[in-house]
């Protein structure tokens, strides 16, 4: 159990302000003004600056590309499987 109700948790940037969230990246306690939610996850100012860097742009590009590749492989696999089963049925009918 964590004593959150004691008022011991304060913002790292504002010592007199109560922290309402914890940065998921560096576990820094931040107030509502210092935290930014990205996809429903709290980030502090410094971590947000790191995320906004070139690494995030690379991640976004990789994320947008991977589903297409996955769908192509899935389509190929499904098509091959259909063709194989069809060929087996046809051959079975002939034999």
Which chain residues interact with Zn ion by CB under 5 A? 11, 13-14, 23, 25-26, 28, 31, 33-34, 44, 47
| Contacts of the segment 43-49: beta carbons below 8 A, 24+ positions apart | 44/12, 45/13, 47/23
Q: Considering beta carbons, is residue 48 or 62 the nearer one to Zn ion?
A: 48
Beta bridge partners of 10: 18
**Closest distance between Zn ion and the C-beta of residue 42, in Å?**
8
**Closest distance between Zn ion and the C-beta of residue 27, in Å?**
7
Q: Considering beta carbons, is residue 21 or 23 the nearer one to Zn ion?
A: 23
Q: Considering beta carbons, is residue 11 or 21 the nearer one to Zn ion?
A: 11
- Phi and psi for 44 in degrees, rounded to 5? -80, 175
**Closest distance between Zn ion and the C-beta of residue 35, in Å?**
8
Torsion of CA 65, 67, 71, 77, to 10 degrees: 100
């Amino acid at each position: 159990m964590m004593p959150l109700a004691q008022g011991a948790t304060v913002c790292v940037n504002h010592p007199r302000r109560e922290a309402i969230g914890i940065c998921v990246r560096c576990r820094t306690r931040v107030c509502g003004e210092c935290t930014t939610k990205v996809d429903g996850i709290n980030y502090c100012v410094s971590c947000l600056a790191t995320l906004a860097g070139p690494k995030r742009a690379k991640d976004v590009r990789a994320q947008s590309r991977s589903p297409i590749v996955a769908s192509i492989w899935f389509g190929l696999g499904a098509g091959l499987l259909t063709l194989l089963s069809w060929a087996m049925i046809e051959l079975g009918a002939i034999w």
